[in-house]
Structure 1
Amino acid sequence: MSQFVPGRGIYTDIKTRLIPYYVSDITDGFTYRVIPAAVYIFFTNILPAMAFAQDMYDHANKSYGTNEVLLSSAMAGIIFGLFSGTPLCIVGVTGPISIFNYTVYNLMEPRGTPYFQFMCWICLWSMVLHFLVAITNSVNFMRYVTKYSCISFGLFINIVYIQKGIQILAHQFAIRDDSSGFASIVVALVMALFGLAAHFFGTKSHYVHPLFRKFVKDFGTPLSVVFFTGFIHFGGRLKYVDFARLPITRSFRPTSPDRPESWYIPFWQDISVGDVFLALPFGILLTILFYFDHNVSSLMCQSDEFPLKKPSSFHYDFMLLGITTGISGILGIPAPNGLIPQAPLHTEALCVHEHDYATGKDRVVRVVEQRLSNIIQGLLTLVLMTRPFLVVLGQIPQAVLAGLFFIMAIGALNENEVVQKLRFLFTDPLSRENMGFPRHYFLLQRKWFLIFLALQLTAFGFEFGITCTKGAIGFPGVLMFFMILAIYFPTFIPQDQMRMLDSQAADDLILKSLKFEKNE
């Protein structure tokens, strides 16, 4: 007879994943693939985070800035690289947490509640709740999460990235003149064009040698950032354009003028007992957000499309996330969690491909499963907090951030299943056979194909819609609702159709730690 064993999930993760594979996680990292993966994920992690820093800087009265986001991202990369059971999962500052942070500010500032103390209590409550969720093995519920939730959420994140890119460009007209605004649009669009061209050249074309194509794919995005940062200095008419750049502050110092030089937040001072307990419901919302966001990121970077050989860790990693959440509150920085789309992009960057000349396509033969690339990108982020590199960071035009958002979003959207289904619907039926669509699209009954697509678009619509309202803080509840709703799809969709429409998010090797038998 099964029985509840507190901490069983954490114990299983440490016993079956962390301890047996820790040495190989280091030694397996001594290979070339780690270098481009670390460089690529460093750029795709830190530059969007800078845009979120700008978002919080503008909407929360300079409470968070470049240094806070750098410190949060560096801490997350180093701690999860060194100690997590899923080092492939990239952890950092996300769009949802930036929305959460400035929404809390807008709610609490009129009450006169000290913001950093209140946020610290939110994070401390959330840390306790993370521990409770992990100890009670409640992360097990993630075994019921299917690709429906992951794909819908991935679509949401990519559309938000496009939205953020547009917002950055629109903001240029407000903080600079029209010439800067229009020039920024051109720089962002041309950068996106080149970045996406590099990606498609490296993955879809058959020109030149596969090794060169792989190099272009590995370094195309970072080189686009470097090139277009220098592009504004090329002279000509550009020298008359006043491009807005990333705002920077003193090295290793907090941004907000309302807090002391120290990173430590005296969370027991100047805050009432009532506000301490008022922080609890916010802590619950933050925990729900991280429960979904982080674990889905972990599932996506260990998706069954990647031939992974090492098992996973969910309960232990969620407890570790609780620790970083509590530390973030005490330091007065945004709490980091799993990143979409960066986490699966990290795994993709670590894939070793082999060119099959018989089919003319590259195929993935293995994934370099290690923890060095995560640690390296975390250390590189920490180095950015030193003055020389802060100055370099301050030279990046905000238009380049917009271009990077477009590259990441459009590249990921092209592979998103919802977009593929929409493309299938609007493709000439006589041409579908030669367009490379999945075979099950042709076997599905049109009725259930359309119903399931509508359900995916509905989830996306509600997720995106609530973030555009004053009720944005309720975003975690929307995520949880659709995750639970997906469990009931088999009650009204025929089983033969359901098997083709949806499936578990990862294979049995990865989900093993979520399916352990409590009576073993």
Structure 2
Amino acid sequence: AFVAPTGLTLAFISSLHSFCTVYSIPFLPTYTCVGLWTSLFMLLLSLTGAANLIKYCTKFTDDVFNALLSFNFVYEAGSSLKRNFVVAGKDKSTAFVSAVLAGGSFMGTDKVSKFNKSKTMKWLCSIPALLLTGLFYFDQNISVRVVNSPENKLKKGGAYSLDMFALSIITATLSLMGLPWMCGATVQSMANTKALSELRYSPSEGEVVESVVETRLTGMVVHAMVAGSLLLLPTLSRVPVPIVSGVFLYLGKKLGSGNSFVTRIGDLFSEKKVRRITQTPL
């Protein structure tokens, strides 16, 4: 699975920053303490083999978690666009232009894709660290579960405990350097797997995976290009926020498409004969 900052991680960091602001607590020391505690908890999960418990999750768990990620992307994009209309006053022209830019970015992306210092404070940091550990546990392992789905016909098995150990080291390093935390990124992982898949079309099943080219080269190239994008920060800072909102909308749509949980919600409002998922009587 690709390791990258995720939407839920961003939401957690934003909440932690808001908490520190309200109670006048230094953010960066707290950020480091929470990250180090999280690293310790994940190390313990790795050493005890707790990641193997993920095998008791079902496809329903995967679908619900991915639906949550999809809704999070759409919510963040919608909130950003809504703020433009709230602060615009009587002149809504800028807000409407922002909405048009977001819509254009969404459709364009869619088209392209088809191609404190006290000892007590340090201990208190373990409380939000437990929440972050839970988030990382599910975000990382469900991302790996989705990639290793039997439908993808991968030959190499998953290494859940080793992944948690590596993520523990990464989290500790990022915390000490004040950099954003990251874990398994579901959207990028699924997109990479699909891009490397050899597909055949079946009239009854649609696209079926024949095999997947299993390589680490794509991951290395993608992360090298991300590192290279640091040289483009002055240019990227000029990109309007609505463009990013449009990309968020696309990611939400992409993650939600093909999700059984989201499809079933849509089927609730459809006639029985046009439902996309067959209902099994209890």
Kindly tell me the number of residue pairs found equivalent between the two proteins: 280
User: For 2:44 and 2:217, how far apart are their aligned partners in 1?
Assistant: 30
Residues 285-324 of structure 1 mapped to structure 2, 5 A cutoff = 285-324=131-170
Q: Could you say if the C-alpha distance between residues 306 and 399 of structure 1 is closer, same or farther in structure 2, counting changes exceeding 3 Å? A: same
State, as a whole percentage, how many aligned pairs show the same letter: 24
Distance verdict in 2 for CA 1:384–1:420, change over 3 Å: same
SS at match of 2:198: strand
Change beyond 3 A, Cα 1:163–1:112: closer
Distance apart, 1:341 and its partner CA: 2.6
Q: Is the 8 A contact 2:148 2:157 kept in 1?
A: no
Match of 2:126 in 1: 280
The alignment partner of 2:150 has SS state of: coil
CA contact (8 A) 1:355 1:363 kept: yes
Q: How does 1:305-344 map to 2 (within 5 A)?
A: 305-344=151-190
- Report Cα offsets for 1:135-177 as digits up to 9, x if no partner: 1111121111111211111111111111111122223346776
Who wins on radius of gyration, i.e. which is larger?
Answer: 1
Q: 1:142 to 1:355 in 2, by over 3 A?
A: closer
Q: Does 1:150 align with 2:62?
A: yes
* TM alignment of 1:506-517, pairs within 5 A: none
**Residues 77-476 of structure 1: pairs in structure 2 closer than 5 A:** 89-173=1-85, 178-196=92-110, 198=111, 217-218=114-115, 271-354=117-200, 362-386=207-231, 389-429=232-272, 431-432=273-274, 437-438=276-277, 441-442=278-279, 444-445=280-281, 448=282
Residues 180-226 of structure 1, C-alpha deviations (whole Å, 9 max, x = no match): 21012122223434544x37xxxxxxxxxxxxxxxx723xxxxxxxx
1:113–1:275: 8 Å Cα contact kept in structure 2?
no
| 1:347 counterpart SS class | helix
1:359, distance to aligned residue in structure 2 (A):
8.0
Q: Please give the alpha-carbon distance, in whole angstroms, between the structure 2 residues aligned to 1:271 and 1:409.
A: 40
User: Structure 2: which amino acid aligns with 1:155?
Assistant: A
8 Å contact kept, 1:128–1:322: yes
Alignment gaps of 5+ in structure 1: 1-88, 200-215, 219-269, 449-520
TM-score of the two chains, using structure 2 as the length reference: 0.89
Q: Is the 8 A contact 1:301 1:345 kept in 2?
A: no
Equivalent pair of 2:39/2:168 in contact (CA under 8 Å): yes
Paired residues of 2:73 and 2:249 also in contact (CA < 8 A): yes
**Partner residue in 2 for 1:496:** none
- Secondary structure of the residue aligned to 1:366 is strand
Shift of 1:385: 1.4
Cα pair 1:301 1:346 within 8 Å, conserved: no
Contact 1:165 1:405 in 2 (8 A): yes
SS of 1:341's equivalent in the other structure is helix
Name stretches of at least 5 consecutive residues in structure 2 with no aligned partner: none
Letter in 1 for 2:59: K
**Superposition RMSD on alpha carbons, in Å?**
2.4
On the 8 A contact 1:162/1:405 being kept in 2, the answer is yes
Report SS of the residue matched to 1:353.
strand
Per-residue deviation, 1:337: 0.8
Distance 1:377 1:155 in 2: 25
Partners of 2:141 and 2:217 lie apart in 1 by: 21
Compared with structure 1, are the counterparts of its residues 327 and 355 closer, same or farther at alpha carbon in structure 2 (3 Å cutoff)? same
SS of aligned partner of 1:310: coil
SS of corresponding position for 1:309: coil
| Match runs of 1:24-103 below 5 Å | 89-103=1-15
Aligned partner letter, 1:421: R
Distance 2:205 2:262 in 1: 25
> Please, which moves more after superposition, 416-425 or 139-148?
416-425
